[in-house]
Amino acid sequence: MMSSSCSFRITRTTENLALTLSALSERLVKLETQMGTLEKKLIQNQESMPSLKEIEILDGVDKLLKDCHHLLEMNDSDVKPNEEVINDLPQDIIAA
């Protein structure tokens, strides 16, 4: 009778281990699928983000726009002609 009880316990434990292993395997497959989806989203987000060089270029453009805006807001009396700049201009522009 003792071997029958021991055999039952071994069988029952083996069945429990098999069920646990099966559940863990299913969970692992789900996690791998989710991870793959997240990796695809991460790659898409990285592709849509501007590079460091692009950010530097855009910062330079932003600075130029601010400088131009500032110059446009200045009164004519605030602007003093620079002789070097005037001498470098083509004559047809100066005459205009």
pLDDT attached to residue 30: 95
pTM to 2 decimal places: 0.45
pLDDT band at 54 (very low <50, low <70, confident <90, very high): confident
Distance of CA 35 to the CA centre of its chain: 17
Q: What is the rounded distance in angstroms from the CA atom of residue 85 to the CA atom of residue 76?
A: 16
pLDDT band at 44 (very low <50, low <70, confident <90, very high): confident
In the predicted model, is pLDDT for residue 85 greater than 70?
no
Q: What is the rounded distance in angstroms from the CA atom of residue 61 to the CA atom of residue 54?
A: 10
In the predicted model, is pLDDT for residue 27 greater than 90?
yes
Mean pLDDT of 7-32: 90
Q: Which positions ≥6 away from 50 have C-beta within 8 Å? A: 58
Residue 60 identity (one-letter amino acid): G
Q: What is the rounded distance in angstroms from the CA atom of residue 84 to the CA atom of residue 68?
A: 20
